[in-house]
Homo-oligomer: A and B are copies of this chain.
Amino acid sequence: MLEKEARLDPRAVRTRQYLQQAMGELLGEKRFHEISVQDITARAGVNRATFYAHFVDKYDLLNTSIREMYQNMLDEKLPAQPVFNRANMRLLIITVFEFLEGFIGHCSPGSISSEQGLMAQQVQVHTQTILRGWLERSGAVAQHELEAVSSIASWMIFGPIVQVTWERKKVSADTVAEQLLPLIEAGLGAYMHAGAT
């Protein structure tokens, strides 16, 4: 992602950071449903009314945080203006895998907490949004097909990875990518850009 268009007031930037950091700390101490907005703001040292100037509720805070962390990881691994091609799909698969593993990899098998469910959902939705952008940039899909194709593509990546991650199978991100790419190409190769980047 390029430089933000409008510079945010440093105070607002800071406040959001405090709130997000507080949420992260509290999630390490108790379950999501046990955490109140009061807890978050007290931990962050921010007035509770200020919380509502930035987020609708604690779900909004969590979802936003997850999306931003995921997007930061994508920004690190992918080119600045990715198109829908094999190389970028590979990088995306690896990123999704590593991101999910980072969250789920620390739980006992079969245990799915509400925060993990929420987190997984955010990753899927955001992955779809990203793919939609890629497809639009490539111009290989008709406008009315964008939603369908991006949804299918995201689930082809997301579904198998979620299953592998939740079942705690010992596989590497590269292995997963090598297994998924041929299948994705078989189904969506028609929309793929032939060139690099």
Contacts and interface: CB of A to CB of B under 8 A. Distances in A.
A14 B45 CA distance: 10
A10 interface: yes
Interface of A: 10, 14, 45
Contacts of A10: 45
A51 to B, nearest CB: 14
A176 to B, nearest CB: 41
A12 B16 CA distance: 18
- For the complex of A and B, 2 pairs with smallest distance between CB atoms: A10-B45, A14-B45
A116 B130 CA distance: 55
Nearest to A18: B14
Nearest to A46: B10
A45 B7 CA distance: 14
Contacts of A14: 45
2 contacts: A10-B45, A14-B45
Contacts of A45: 10, 14
A17 B14 CA distance: 14
A34 to B, nearest CB: 25
A123 to B, nearest CB: 31
